[in-house]
Structure 1
Amino acid sequence: MSDAALTETGVETGTERRDFIRASVVNVLGNAVKIVVEAAAGLAFGSLALLADAAHSVADLVASIVVLVWGRSVYADPDDTHPHGHQRVEPLAALFVGSVVALLGLNFFYESVRGFIVGVDVRFSPILVAALLFAMADMYVLYRYTTWVNETVDSAALDALAVDCLNDIYTTIAALVGIAGVFFGYPLLDAGAGAVVSVLVIYQGFEIGRENVSYLVGAAPCEDDYQRVVEALRSHPAVEGVHDVAVFYDGTDLEVEAHVEVDGELTLVEAHDIETELIGRIRDLDIVGDVHLHLDPAGIGEWKDAEENRE
């Protein structure tokens, strides 16, 4: 890779890291403001709906802080203790966010059922409505900003935070429906709306977790991505065959291992040049991080096959 390309890559990574940190900080501040507004209004008028929504945001605040402190290390260079880099930190942070979302959904569902059983005690005030509308606007702006930043950063952790912002809007709508029920004399409407929304929150938290567990355990990609890698190898004019291809996630990037068959009469220098070209081809795919290739003389067969024959 040329010095100019290395410089460009370094600048790009630095910009992505800066954008990631900025978006994480904005998420922390946005959740903190929402907590203060809703908790103050909830305490003033005895609204369990607002206090529950504020408590939900406390966990969101913790998740945002974790992503800020933990997730940004994905942009750190490889070192002696992490020779392949820190790519798995990002899905680990996203998995934490997904777990928090699912647990909060379960808690919200429990509180909704409890409301049906023991009832609720809240005094209506326009301030409650104003606080909820502010919370919805706050989360919508936060969702749009995080999504916009993530179009270039493409971070699993930021994607999880954006989904969580969307969840906050749904839970706040549920709280708003509950406050409307109080106004019209039907306070149990709060519990019913909360139960419905909590199921959606649980599902979205589960989906965030499921996707990022795949990244962490080194799962295989979809068939289309696998074929893109194989085609990039086979399309090289010097390649006569490809076998033992393994494509799997290392964090959110794909790692590629493959045996490539070439002319056995090539010199070592010629074979080295072909290997370099092939690695460059694969790394040019936006989904690939690291590549490990082994060049085999075409038609000779694998050493492991010879071992099996001797047995």
Structure 2
Amino acid sequence: MMYSLEERFRKSKIVSWTGIWINFFLAIFKIFAGIWGRSQAMLSDGFHSLSDIFAGILTLTSVKISQKPVDQDHPYGHGKAESIAALCISFILLGMSIVLSYRALNAIFLKIRIVPGLLPLWAALISILVKELLFRYTYYIGKKFDNLAILASASDHRADALTSVAALIGIAGARLGYTFLDPLAGFVVALFIFKIGIDILRPSLRELMDTSLPEDFIDEIKKLTLSIGEVKRIDDVKTRRLGWRNSIDLSVQIDADLSIEEGHGISNQIEKLLLQKLKNIGNIMIHINPGTGDREERNRKLEIITRILQEHYQKFVNFHDLFIVRKGSEEQVYLHLVLARKISVEQAHRVCDHLERDIKRELPNFKVLIHVEPA
């Protein structure tokens, strides 16, 4: 199903602002709970929520930029703003994970043993519930509109829910007397954040490096293109992703005898079909190449016709302007036949009938058009 740019931006804006405000209140609550309740795990979780605020702002900004129309400096549009935003989100998460890992490991190896209060435990429970619901909502919008930056934010929300689970286990264990579990949970939270950062980093780098789209998508392009009868062969298919849009560069072979106008019509037909059948198509570039196999086949047929004419040389003086053209699915051969001046119309007609019959015997799908002229 296709959606307008306006609807895509409006939904992305709503989900981004929803995430920003929820993360704002959660971050304040969890950082306060971590400091007041003396929990390293909850403090790490709170800073993770703080990073989500920056991620949400980056997502919102990138979606807005990506909707800008093509201009002279950006002939392919601004779609890669979403990939750049996803890359920045991954860097924020990776940096945050390194800082939090250092703090947690420092507490573990220095054997700092503090029993967390009850408030961090409640903060973890509330965070798990809220962030899981926010993940499901954000993921739904990201998949619906195929928005990489929104999907990156959704992954971040899921990571936050999972890190809150780890924090909950660590805090509960520390309150039961296993005080090392709280900083250990803080370290586990940092590892979760690091993994999500890597998961977001990979696809954003692939898009920025113009990595080809999946093989099944390319196969569908080939299948649709070859369904058009005039396309003889596909020479090359290049694809890449530009933000939420897919770009296609396609080279196809058609009959070498077709006119430029007919080639242009086939190109438009291919483009229209791809836009109708494939999702989120932006730029389509189609290169029309003359079929070399068609030229070889045409030369072979001309040799057959020339041989037949040579076999009938005693019946006419000469021939010239022999050529083959294609009219849709039909092939036609044209030739000028030079006959003796004193030959009767009936004899001329008989010669032409014999030639047409012999040519059609060898080339049954041909229409033979002979122009007779006196020597």
**TM-score bracket for this pair, using the shorter chain length:** 0.7 to 0.9
Out of 95, 100, 110, the residue aligned to residue 103 of structure 1 is 95
The CA deviation at 1:12 is 2.0
Out of 189, 197, 202, the residue aligned to residue 181 of structure 2 is 189
Secondary structure at 2:129's aligned position in 1? helix
* Alpha-carbon distance in structure 1 between the residues aligned to 2:80 and 2:254: 34
1:226 paired residue number: 218
Secondary structure at 1:291's aligned position in 2? strand
Secondary structure at 1:240's aligned position in 2? strand
2:125 paired residue number: 133
RMSD: 2.2
Sequence identity, in percent? 25
1:74 paired residue number: 66
The CA deviation at 1:192 is 2.5
- Of stretches 252-261 and 131-140 in structure 1, the one that deviates more from structure 2 is 252-261
2:288 paired residue number: 295
Letter of the 2:127 partner, please give it.
A
Secondary structure at 1:83's aligned position in 2? coil
Please show how residues 275-294 of structure 1 align to structure 2 within 5 Å.
Answer: 275-284=267-276, 285-286=278-279, 288-294=281-287
2:31 paired residue number: 39
1:249-289 CA-to-partner distances (Å, cap 9, x unmatched) read 33343322222221233233322211101111223311532
2:15 paired residue number: 23
Instruction: Tell me which protein shows more helix as a share of its residues.
Output: 1
1:53 paired residue number: 45
* Alpha-carbon distance in structure 2 between the residues aligned to 1:215 and 1:296: 29
Matched, 1:90 2:82: yes
Secondary structure at 2:210's aligned position in 1? coil
The 8 Å contact of residues 16 and 56 in structure 2, kept in 1 or not, is answered as yes
The 8 Å contact of residues 218 and 251 in structure 1, kept in 2 or not, is answered as no
* Alpha-carbon distance in structure 2 between the residues aligned to 1:148 and 1:244: 35
What TM-score do you get using the length of structure 1 for normalisation? 0.86
- Taking structure 1 as reference, are residues 156 and 150 closer, same or farther at Cα in structure 2, changes over 3 Å only? same
The 8 Å contact of residues 16 and 152 in structure 1, kept in 2 or not, is answered as no
1:105-158 CA-to-partner distances (Å, cap 9, x unmatched) read 333332221121123454543322222212222211211211122232221111
* Alpha-carbon distance in structure 1 between the residues aligned to 2:68 and 2:214: 28
The 8 Å contact of residues 254 and 288 in structure 2, kept in 1 or not, is answered as yes
- Taking structure 1 as reference, are residues 202 and 33 closer, same or farther at Cα in structure 2, changes over 3 Å only? same
The CA deviation at 1:197 is 4.1
1:65-109 CA-to-partner distances (Å, cap 9, x unmatched) read 111122332122222322211111111111111222223233333
Out of 168, 175, 183, the residue aligned to residue 160 of structure 2 is 168
Secondary structure at 1:179's aligned position in 2? helix
What TM-score do you get using the length of structure 2 for normalisation? 0.72
Letter of the 2:143 partner, please give it.
E
1:259 paired residue number: 251
The CA deviation at 1:300 is 7.5
The 8 Å contact of residues 143 and 163 in structure 1, kept in 2 or not, is answered as yes
- Taking structure 1 as reference, are residues 197 and 48 closer, same or farther at Cα in structure 2, changes over 3 Å only? closer
Secondary structure at 1:177's aligned position in 2? helix
1:273 paired residue number: 265
* Alpha-carbon distance in structure 1 between the residues aligned to 2:62 and 2:286: 32
The 8 Å contact of residues 42 and 186 in structure 2, kept in 1 or not, is answered as no
- Of stretches 60-69 and 102-111 in structure 1, the one that deviates more from structure 2 is 102-111
The 8 Å contact of residues 215 and 252 in structure 1, kept in 2 or not, is answered as no
Secondary structure at 2:253's aligned position in 1? strand
Secondary structure at 1:168's aligned position in 2? helix
Letter of the 1:60 partner, please give it.
D
The CA deviation at 1:295 is 1.3
- Taking structure 1 as reference, are residues 110 and 189 closer, same or farther at Cα in structure 2, changes over 3 Å only? same
* Alpha-carbon distance in structure 2 between the residues aligned to 1:113 and 1:144: 32
- Of stretches 234-243 and 257-266 in structure 1, the one that deviates more from structure 2 is 257-266
- Taking structure 1 as reference, are residues 174 and 115 closer, same or farther at Cα in structure 2, changes over 3 Å only? farther
- Of stretches 60-69 and 245-254 in structure 1, the one that deviates more from structure 2 is 245-254
Letter of the 1:155 partner, please give it.
N
1:144 paired residue number: 136
The 8 Å contact of residues 53 and 172 in structure 1, kept in 2 or not, is answered as yes
Letter of the 1:293 partner, please give it.
I
* Alpha-carbon distance in structure 2 between the residues aligned to 1:190 and 1:125: 11
Matched, 1:215 2:188: no
Structure 2 residues not aligned, in runs of 5+: 295-375
1:307 paired residue number: none
1:144-187 CA-to-partner distances (Å, cap 9, x unmatched) read 21112223222111111111111111222222222212311221
Specify the structure having the higher radius of gyration (Cα).
Answer: 2
* Alpha-carbon distance in structure 2 between the residues aligned to 1:111 and 1:44: 17
Instruction: Tell me which protein shows more strand as a share of its residues.
Output: 2
